[in-house]
Amino acid sequence: MNLNFFKKKSYFDLSLIIFLFLYFLIGIYLSLNTGISHDEFHEQKNWEFNMLLIDSLWKNQEIETTYIDKFYGIGFQYISQPFQYFFSETVSNYFGFDEYGSKLITKHSIVFIFFFISSLFFFKILVKITNNNQYSILGLILYLTYPYLLGHSFFNSKDIPFLSLWLICTFLSCYIFELLKKENILKYSNLLILSFLTAYLFSIRITGILILIQYFITFVIFLNTENYSIKKFINNFFLKIIIFVLLLFVFVVFLYPVFWINPLNIIEAIKFMGNFYHDVCTLTLGKCVKAQDIDSIYIFIWLFFKIPLVIIIGIFLIPFTEKKIFKNSINNIYFGTILLSPIIILTILILNKVPLYDEIRQVMFLVPLIFLLGLISFFFFSKKISKNVILVFIFFFIYENFNMYPYQYTWFNMSARTLDLSKNFELEYQGISGKELSKKIQNLNTPGKKHCVVGGSGFIKPYLNQEIYNCYYPFSVLETNIERPFWVIQHVRNLKKSIPFKCKILAQEKISLTFYKGDLVAGNLLECY
């Protein structure tokens, strides 16, 4: 009996390894074939600003610090930029992108690798709480095939690395308190790793400071479940607490060049990012919600329509499953942390009216925690039903990914698909359609027929032959009398604008959703004559 079980388990593990290997290779390839997003040019500028800043400090020269986005972290780029330097030429030769475009696109593979690594920690947390290897594997596959996150993992170099580090830090911090519970030890090596990874999280986005709230939640849960007084904890681990705080501060300053000028800029950075200057309007249930005048239910609306229904059902089952979950004392630490953290963090963001835009991008780091809540609760409600339902969703997600690529990040759950998505929600806000629209330009153009390109040049220029297509204008020139004919790329928020005078739609890029009555427009190619 035991021998048969061992064989089955080994076979299942081998199948999982093969799946992960193929998933990894396919994901890398698809990420390099995904278009360039709106943020990537700005992030490249952030990197260049920081390199100039470091160079100025090194040479003891006058430092220019008026750059408006100076507090954007470059943590992800410490890893991506060397990779871009060595492999962008290979990517350019293979895919035919221009030099600058290939530099931007090459980092897509690193974004995907971050997401892939996050799934392993997602799996570890799931195993810790359910103690069921088979169910945890199903949960892992569901996470990896969830179209919304997978779509972002092909290009989103800000939110996906941040999400991944948050999940890794969540596991490590809970694991430290688990060891403290079992062995009453607090290892210096664990504190060193956690302090560095936490600082690295900050360096991707200063919003990472919110994870200190999560650490405090885990700490309070530990004290409560172990009847451990704060006084006793401080007496036992005072030196280690001080070392962790000092290491965290040193690593944060080290990873943020703008803090080298003055470490107190940390406070200014937090204030700046907490009151973001960009007042973007995000279409939410038919209403234009401005980032600086955020609606109190904005986040919950987007979460309700973006999170899969199986996860939402699992969350609603928590009142009926929490006693079973918390019977295990280790679950108090892990599940208690991932249950309370989203609630408290979202409450803080809402009460402080922190600017949010582009649906749930700024709180995407909470999505894996919400996923864990739903999966764990559903498992403790019914192991058999939950496994079967999750298996159905996995097959559905796989189909959706093939059907929607490269626009999976625009994914909505089935409840949203009962509405008119174009009129009610923000859709293709990243500009990924630029690559496909550039193909349509080349297919429609004829030799000797010169057309300038208006709008979205940064999204499509890397894909076009610059000897033929060397004339680009911003969308705003449509209000002037520029020489005709010209192409117009209408995508991102420009899709909401009417068709310009004496212009016609030549081609459209569309998004297809299963069980939805029509296609969604990701971008238009217009000719103005």
Q: Which two tokens stand for residue 109?
A: 């593979």
Instruction: Grade residue 3 by pLDDT with cuts at 50, 70 and 90.
Output: very low
Average pLDDT of every residue of the chain: 93
Residue reference for tokens 């010209």:
486
Q: What is the average pLDDT across 38-42? A: 88
Q: Which two tokens stand for residue 436?
A: 């496909």
Q: Which has the closest alpha carbon to 318: 336, 301, 345?
A: 336
Per-domain residue ranges for the chain?
68-410, 434-528
Quick check: 55 pLDDT over 90?
yes
Measured CA to CA, the distance from residue 477 to residue 487 in angstroms comes to: 12
Quick check: 353 pLDDT over 80?
yes
Which of 158-172, 220-234, 384-398, 447-461 shows the lowest mean pLDDT across its residues? 447-461
Measured CA to CA, the distance from residue 214 to residue 338 in angstroms comes to: 8
| pLDDT attached to residue 5 | 38
| pLDDT attached to residue 418 | 95
Measured CA to CA, the distance from residue 255 to residue 494 in angstroms comes to: 37
Measured CA to CA, the distance from residue 486 to residue 477 in angstroms comes to: 11
Measured CA to CA, the distance from residue 332 to residue 219 in angstroms comes to: 11
Task: Kindly write down the DSSP assignment for every residue of 370-398, as one continuous string.
Answer: HHHHHHHHHHHH-HHHHHHHHHHHHHHHH
Measured CA to CA, the distance from residue 108 to residue 157 in angstroms comes to: 7
Are 289 and 280 a contacting pair, CB within 8 Å?
no
Cα of 300 vs its chain's centroid, Å? 18
Instruction: Grade residue 277 by pLDDT with cuts at 50, 70 and 90.
Output: confident
Kindly give the pairing relationship between strand 472-473 and strand 452-454. Answer: parallel
pTM of the model: 0.94
Angle between helix axes 159-183 and 211-226 (nearest 10 degrees) is: 20
Q: Which two tokens stand for residue 477?
A: 């020139």
Are 209 and 202 a contacting pair, CB within 8 Å?
yes
Instruction: Grade residue 371 by pLDDT with cuts at 50, 70 and 90.
Output: very high
Quick check: 22 pLDDT over 90?
yes
| pLDDT attached to residue 12 | 56
| pLDDT attached to residue 424 | 96
Backbone region of residue 90 per phi and psi (left: phi > 0; alpha: psi in -120 to 50; beta: other values):
alpha
Measured CA to CA, the distance from residue 353 to residue 290 in angstroms comes to: 11
**Cβ neighbours of 29 (radius 10 Å):** 11
- Per DSSP, the three-state class of 521 is strand
Q: Which residues contact 421 (CB under 8 A, 6 or more apart)?
A: 412, 427, 513, 516, 520
**pLDDT tens-place string over residues 185-236:** 999 999 999 999 999 999 999 999 999 999 999 999 999 999 889 999 999 9
Strand partners, 489: 525
| pLDDT attached to residue 87 | 95
**pLDDT tens-place string over residues 473-523:** 998 898 888 888 999 999 888 888 899 888 999 999 999 999 998 889 999
Task: Kindly write down the DSSP assignment for every residue of 173-232, as one continuous string.
Answer: HHHHHHHHHHH----HHHHHHHHHHHHHHHHH-GGGGGHHHHHHHHHHHHHHHHT--HHH
Q: Which two tokens stand for residue 395?
A: 């097959």
With vertex at residue 303, the alpha carbon angle to CA 300 and CA 305, rounded to the nearest 5 degrees, is 110
Are 487 and 527 a contacting pair, CB within 8 Å?
yes
Q: Which residues contact 315 (CB under 8 A, 6 or more apart)?
A: 370, 373, 374, 377
Cα of 451 vs its chain's centroid, Å? 36
Q: Provide the CB-side half-sphere exposure for 290 (13 A, CA).
A: 6
DSSP state letter for 499: P
Quick check: 445 pLDDT over 80?
no
Kindly give the pairing relationship between strand 472-473 and strand 503-511. Answer: unpaired
Residue reference for tokens 């290979």:
90
